[in-house]
């Protein structure tokens, strides 16, 4: 008995299984990449309403056009300002301060506040300004 095709050589390779494998790997790669970019949605626990210890609270000193000094929107004298800043500096050594001065205030009043901050030992002071029109 003779077997059909026993002497026939294989002229072509069947690439269908290889393509199936390539498509499966491509789909797995797409799914894994999409999952890692979006992340996993998690219902996080709630923290208390207390202030965070990691970020120091910024103090805002404002000087109105009549020369009144405000610390966090509370009017204070220069002596009270020095006392409160000294207390805050004791709890937060790198206390940041933002100084907001009215454009009509006397320059001397701003210098008094800056000098007071220097005596207290505050080294991180920002001066607030308004954006120019059209910016």
What CATH number should be reported for the domain holding residue 101? 3.30.420.270
Instruction: Let me know if residue 26 belongs to a domain.
Output: no
Q: Residue 103: what pLDDT?
A: 76
Q: How many domains does the chain have?
A: 1
| Residue 109: φ, ψ to 5° | -65, -40
Q: Residue 102: what pLDDT?
A: 80
Instruction: Let me know if residue 117 belongs to a domain.
Output: yes
Instruction: Let me know if residue 115 belongs to a domain.
Output: yes
Instruction: Let me know if residue 102 belongs to a domain.
Output: yes
The model's pTM: 0.56
**Strand 74-76 with 96-101, pairing:** unpaired
Instruction: Let me know if residue 90 belongs to a domain.
Output: yes
Q: Residue 50: what pLDDT?
A: 52
Host domain of residue 115 = 59-127
**How distant, in Å, are the alpha carbons of 21, 34, 36, 91 from that of 39?**
27, 8, 5, 38
Digits of tens for pLDDT over the chain (135 positions)? 555 656 666 677 888 889 999 999 999 888 877 665 443 343 444 555 555 444 457 888 888 878 888 888 788 999 999 999 999 888 888 888 888 888 777 888 889 999 999 999 988 888 877 766 665
Instruction: Let me know if residue 105 belongs to a domain.
Output: yes
Q: Residue 66: what pLDDT?
A: 84
Distance in angstroms (rounded) separating the CA atoms of residues 129 and 54: 27
Instruction: Let me know if residue 10 belongs to a domain.
Output: no
């Amino acid at each position: 008995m003779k077997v059909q095709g026993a002497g026939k050589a294989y002229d072509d390779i069947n690439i269908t299984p290889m393509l199936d494998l390539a498509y499966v790997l491509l789909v797995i790669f797409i799914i894994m990449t999409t999952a890692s970019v979006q992340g996993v949605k998690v219902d996080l626990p709630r923290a208390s309403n207390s202030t965070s210890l990691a970020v120091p609270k910024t103090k805002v000193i404002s000087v109105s056009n009549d020369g009144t000094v405000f610390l966090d929107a509370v009017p204070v004298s220069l002596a009270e300002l020095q006392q409160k800043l000294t207390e805050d500096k004791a709890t937060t050594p790198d206390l940041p301060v933002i100084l907001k001065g009215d454009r009509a205030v006397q320059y001397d009043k701003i210098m008094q506040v800056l000098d007071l901050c220097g005596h207290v030992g505050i080294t991180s002071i920002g001066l607030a300004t308004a954006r120019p029109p059209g910016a």
